[in-house]
Amino acid sequence: MGARKTIIRLAEELIREQGISDTHQITQYINKNYRWGASNYQTGSILGRSKKFVGVGLTKTHPHRERWGLNPELETEHGNMRHG
């Protein structure tokens, strides 16, 4: 599995477990669970380009950190992502 897919999978996993998370929290989770790790810039760029995620605002304490959630338009009633 490539780095991009791994970052997306781990970010989705974290958001499903904890709810809305910011870029830094997601990057820390990726770096803890993925051998190669990622930078905040890389994580934000990948999440911003993926249709699975939506930006839901900025953090109050760090205004340059985007907060991310799962795209509700792609969610099914079972909590799994629709493909297509």
Q: What confidence score (pLDDT) does residue 83 get?
A: 45
Scanning the structure block, which residue is given the tokens 């991009």? 4
Map out the domains of the chain as residue ranges: 3-74
Write out pLDDT tens, residues 8-21: 999 999 999 999 99
Write out pLDDT tens, residues 14-51: 999 999 999 999 999 999 998 888 999 999 999 999 99
- CATH T-level topology, domain 3-74: Arc Repressor Mutant, subunit A (1.10.10)
Q: Is the pTM of this model over 0.75?
A: yes
d(CA 46, CA 81): 17
User: pLDDT band at 77, cuts 50/70/90?
Assistant: very low
d(CA 75, CA 38): 26
d(CA 68, CA 15): 8
Whole-Å CA distances, 47 to 5, 43, 78: 11, 6, 22
